[in-house]
Homo-oligomer: A and B are copies of this chain.
Amino acid sequence: MPDSIDNLDAVDRQILAELQSDGRMTNVELARRVDLSAPPCLRRVRRLEEAGIIRGYHAEVDPVALGWEITFFALVGLESQKQTLLQAFQEEVKQWPEVRECHMIRGGGDFLLRVVARDTAHENALTNRLTSHATVSRVQTLQTIHTAKQVPGVPLEM
């Protein structure tokens, strides 16, 4: 099993909490915060990375500043629940750069997508592309007009 470690102690969790909130912190600073010297701290980070518990590090960018004015979620229902068609739909949207997330929803044949668009016209084009897709029977668009909270990952402050 590449991910998950038998033993994950309080120091590991604190490392994860710190890196989840500031992924570019230097190892020296991280070591100081978890009250360890630098080498064992770095070894723990490497271990968490290799175990797959840390999947990567990402800069969080401002979508609007980069020309992506619209973020919306699309609740997509497929006509069929056949495994091959579900798979085909996922493979399709995986290749759309504007689709940033694609989650299969419990209950069968539904997906929730997070999508970004440059403007309203672009948004319409994207929803049309979804609607006109062969296996899609229904698309509900949930356009974000304000984000009150946006924190990464999971709670770790315990």
Contacts and interface: CB of A to CB of B under 8 A. Distances in A.
B58 A153 contact: yes
A145 to B, nearest CB: 5
Copies of this chain held together in the complex: 2
A19 B59 contact: yes
Contacts of A44: none
Nearest to A105: B142
Contact of A101 (B52, B75, B150): B150
A102 interface: yes
20 contacts: A4-B62, A19-B58, A20-B61, A22-B57, A23-B58, A54-B61, A58-B152, A60-B152, A60-B153, A63-B154, A73-B73, A73-B112, A94-B149, A101-B151, A103-B142, A104-B146, A105-B145, A106-B143, A112-B142, A112-B144
Q: Nearest 10 CB-CB pairs, A to B?
A: A23-B57, A19-B59, A90-B148, A97-B155, A24-B57, A102-B149, A106-B143, A104-B146, A58-B152, A102-B148
